[in-house]
Chain A
Amino acid sequence: MHFRTNSSDGKRVSVAKFPKDGPPPITVKDLTMAYGTFVLMREINFTVNHGDIFIIMGGSGSGKSTLLRHMLGLIEPAKGEVWYGDFNFTKAEPLQREEMLRHFGVLYQGGALWSSMTLAENVGLPLGEFTDLSQAEIREVAALKLALVGLKGFEGYYPSQISGGMQKRAGLARAIALDPEILFFDEPSAGLDPISSRLLDDLILELRDNLGATIVVVTHELASIFSIGNNSVFLDAESRTMIAHGDPKDLLAHCTDHRVQTFLTRGGSEAEKSARTHG
């Protein structure tokens, strides 16, 4: 995956921001999240490798989305750092951060499409801001991105004119507008029916496989966790820290922590549930 940046002679060139032989694209070091004096999570440490689909999981209120907002710089950590490759994002100046953020794509829970713009304008905005493409070229690329998420022909629609699932897909089209190397998804399955949810999971896998993107997904949908995730961190609200880290399937098979097992088996195995009901 390549990005366009300005070279010294003023022409646009393509450079890899996170080369595969370089450091891991995302490293979270000793992160503490707090609201004022209330510590939400502490000592969060993990690494996301190239091509990972990394799941941030945990129960409701455990701070999954808050962790994502810390990783995106929307909230400042009380302690610790977030590194992208060899770039210390937490300690960076605002302009350097802005530059780095242009290499990310983010899909928010509700799509977060700009309601005053059509879908094509939503997707075209980052292209217009950060490339030298002409308006006609921007329209073409926007149409392509919308086609990639199954929204061909909806270019002129406003967000209010399409369904929630379509809004999410349009949000995804906007997130991949600049071909980012890292994609963040905040609860992509929330509010979707099982089929739409499955289609979105397939789309995430396609993006990883075909674009080579590293993907971070915040979710508590078990079906999604097991079908797309190959690495994960488990946040526990009670102990206020991460209590497991690794492939979700490995965690299910080998993790001995009952909190992780309870979560990954929807409250315990069928045998345990049966025993509880009748015992």
Chain B
Amino acid sequence: MRGRGTVGLRKTPLSDRAPKNCATVHRVLYCAARMQAVKQSLRSGELSFARSDNSTLVIRLSGDWHLRHGLPEPELVTKQLDIAPKPTKLTFDAAGLHDWDSGLLTFLIGVSEICRTRKLPADWSPLPEGVRGLIQLAEAVPEKTGARHEASHTSFIETLGKEAISFAQGLDDFLRFLGEVTIAFGRLAVGKARFRRVDLMVVIQDCGADAFGIVTLVTFLVGVILAFEGAVQLQQFGASIFVADLVAIAMTRDMGAMMAAIIMAGRTGAAFAAQLGSMKVTQEIDALTTMGVSPLEFLVLPRVLALFLMIPLLCVYADCLGVAGGAFVSATMLHISLRTYLTETKNAITLTMIFGGIFKAAVYGIIISVAGCLRGFQCGNSSSAVGDAATKAVVTGIVYVIVACGIFAVVFNILGI
């Protein structure tokens, strides 16, 4: 047999990277480290190649083959097989092999794959019995045709097209679901829809009273921010009092409804999706269906109804808190009295603005609840799918609310509201 080269599993021992000109202490440490590395090299696995005759390639395995020492590339075998005269058989020499684990097996499975591809006969008998047994086990069930996912590159245009189709499909699903909810509301109006009143009350509490804290904080701060930004500009023209007009009109026309909607989309819309998604995963929705109870009426109707009823109230509350935030800034920064601020606010807004905001909020409520329930029903059958459904519910809810807000702006402008 003649050797053709040796490959260690550790390519660059740590000790080889030690500085050459070092102080005595460092030199002692370096020598100690070097000795340790030599010991490790003896223990770690080595791969070498030989030819028993011109037609047989011998893969010689020695030392300890462990995952922590790294794995040699099976391509090393390919290179040896390409050297002329090309071997027609392959065998192993495992006399020097000590300890081994999945590292050796992984390498050998790669070699086996090469042999299969090249239709090269291999003699596995020199390998330890355990290794042969595990290789046999790994190859016992042949790969199922078509099971492997092919890696595919998608171009930007293709991705864009797919996203556009997906958005259109999503809008179609949303409108279809909205239609089904409308029919369910029709059944509710004639007293045919079935759901538990207690469920409705629980959801009303959840998306009404329980949401007061977050709505208070956010809308008060929005009022403060609007007033502060307005005050900085208006002070330059000596028109500080118009901060009250700015805050009142902004809050009642749009910001009150919008902020309530965004808070509820993140809080309640996501909760609806997660609740229904979990029910889908645990087959609770299937259980309702197979009992002849419509999940749409039983689960969706109370949620849509509750948010439809509660969000206008939250909108009014948000309007008040926004005005309060503006009054706070005016009193502390602009030294405008509360009475003057409220009088200016009263003069600035009309009932049409307030009811316009309430109407918008009610529509946003329907959008958010329908988006949340739809995403819950579309949820997959895994725990991660529930998280995805909640995320999608928030994104869908907020996007459609913003779109609706834009449509309202145009329509209200045309109507002169």
Contact = CB atoms under 8 A, between A and B. Distances in A.
A117 B293 CA distance: 16
Contacts of B16: none
Nearest to A100: B292
Contacts of B282: 110, 112, 115
A242 interface: no
Interface stretch (A47-55, A80-88, A101-109, A148-156): A101-109
B284 A126 contact: no
Contacts of A98: 292, 294
B287 A106 contact: yes
Contacts, number: 56
B287 A130 contact: no
Contacts of B286: 69, 72, 74, 106, 108, 112
A99 interface: yes
A116 B284 CA distance: 11
A108 B283 contact: yes
Interface in B273-332: 279, 282-284, 286-287, 289-294
B194 interface: yes
B290 A72 contact: yes
Nearest to A72: B290
Interface string A46-77: 00000000000000000000000100111000
B283 A110 contact: yes
A74 B290 contact: yes
Contacts of A115: 279, 282, 284
Interface in B140-190: none
A157 interface: no
Contacts of B291: 101-102, 106, 125-126, 129
Contacts of A101: 289-292
A108 B284 CA distance: 9
B336 to A, nearest CB: 50
A109 B281 CA distance: 11
Contact of A104 (B202, B290, B294): B290
A178 to B, nearest CB: 8
B287 A102 contact: no
B283 A112 contact: yes
Given A72-B286, A74-B290, A129-B293, 16 more contacts: A69-B286, A73-B289, A74-B289, A98-B292, A98-B294, A102-B292, A106-B287, A108-B286, A108-B287, A109-B283, A112-B284, A112-B286, A115-B279, A116-B202, A129-B292, A130-B292
- Nearest first, the 6 A-B pairs at minimum CB distance are A102-B292, A112-B283, A112-B287, A101-B292, A108-B283, A98-B292
Interface of B: 194, 199, 202, 279, 282-284, 286-287, 289-294
